């Protein structure tokens, strides 16, 4: 049974919320649906990605997608790689 995709963005302010939504959109539009859990937190133009990736490549794709969003000054990696 495939894992359910969970992509959430829960930042504290509306500006941060907009940035988190842009990251979520970039991840899914450029790289397809997220097949594991990914949470995006943005605070003061710093994005922190939490979750589980199925490969190092997938993790790098997510981090690059977050870093490429205008307005994000730094990306903090809290993604664990767990291969199936």
Contact between residue 71 and residue 21 where contact means Cβ atoms under 8 Å apart:
no
What is the spatial distance between Cα 27 and Cα 50, in angstroms, rounded to a whole number? Answer: 14
Contact between residue 33 and residue 61 where contact means Cβ atoms under 8 Å apart:
no
Q: Is the pTM of this model over 0.75?
A: yes
Per-residue model confidence (pLDDT) at position 10:
54
What is the spatial distance between Cα 41 and Cα 48, in angstroms, rounded to a whole number? Answer: 5
**Better-predicted residue by pLDDT, 79 or 2:** 79
Structure tokens at 65: 């997608």
Give the chain's domains with CATH numbers.
6-81 (3.30.1340)
Instruction: Answer yes or no: is pLDDT of 39 > 50.
Output: yes
């Amino acid at each position: 049974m495939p894992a359910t995709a969970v992509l959430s963005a829960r930042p504290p302010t509306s500006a941060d919320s907009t940035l988190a939504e842009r990251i979520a959109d970039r991840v899914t539009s450029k790289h397809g649906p997220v097949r594991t859990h990914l949470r995006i937190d943005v605070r003061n133009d710093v994005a922190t990605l939490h979750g589980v990736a199925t490969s190092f490549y997938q993790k790098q794709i997510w981090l690059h997608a977050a870093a490429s969003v205008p307005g994000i000054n730094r990306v903090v990696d809290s993604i664990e790689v767990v291969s199936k």
